[in-house]
Amino acid sequence: MHRGNRHGRSEQARLAVLEAADDLLVEKGFAALTVEGIAQRAGVAKQTIYRWWPSKTDILLEAFLTDAAEELTPPDTGDLTRDLVTHLTAISRFLTASDAGAVFRALAAEGQHNPRLAARLRAEHLTHQRARDRQPLERAQRRGELPAEADLDTLADRLVGPLYYRALVTGQQITEAFVAQLVRATLAGA
């Protein structure tokens, strides 16, 4: 087990910090998330945090990327509609009902005030997530279910955009019926 020394940072401290940040965000909310609080909860010195992370949002981002790296991968049953409904439902649950989603919302919110964070969130998460969101569409296009000239990027945005809008902006519930209608109508207009 590593401890702090010349050969690198303490993995133990790193994980304790990430977990503490995650827990505190979920328990107390973003406003109560302080570097001092994270340090205390993680049993770590403040300086250790500042040595490795520029700010508390960078901690959150790393925690989010570590935890949520493999989530939200769409299924592949061969049935485009079913795969999309399943995937969009998973995205909705993630955004509105999961701890990781709470961290994501906090990061997206801070990204409005912090372009550097927004850029990292895009480069290290959203790009990959958008690629995953396209997967069912690409497979359908290859199967001939979608026309070859369909603009999959736009299509993907039309599918997930309304979910993020409801989850992050209006706060409306995302019902099964809404998702079903969204998928059906969007594919009808592809």
Partner DNA sequence: CGTTAATCGAGACGGTACGTCTCGTCTTAAA
Partner DNA sequence: TTTAAGACGAGACGTACCGTCTCGATTAACG
Q: What is the contact surface with DNA in residues (CB under 7 A)?
A: 1-10, 13-14, 16, 32, 34-37, 43-48, 50-52, 55-56
Q: Name the residue nearer to a copy of itself (CB basis): 139 or 168.
A: 168
Phi and psi (nearest 5°) for 75?
Answer: -75, 175
**What would the two tokens of residue 15 be?**
């994980």
**Rounded to an integer, what distance in angstroms lies between the CA atom of residue 186 and that of residue 34?**
43
Longest dimension (CA), the chain: 60
| Interface segment toward a copy of itself; rule CB under 8 A; list 9-17, 64-72, 73-81, 177-185 | 177-185
What 3-state DSSP class applies to 129? helix
Among 9, 41, 122, 139, binds a copy of itself (CB under 8 A): 122
Find which of a copy of itself, DNA, none residue 87 binds, CB within 5 to 8 Å per kind.
Answer: none
Q: Which of residues 29-68 bind a copy of itself (CB under 8 A)?
A: 29-31
Site residues for a copy of itself per CB under 8 A: 29-31, 105-106, 108-114, 118, 122, 126, 130, 151, 154, 157-158, 160-166, 168-172, 178, 181-182, 184-190
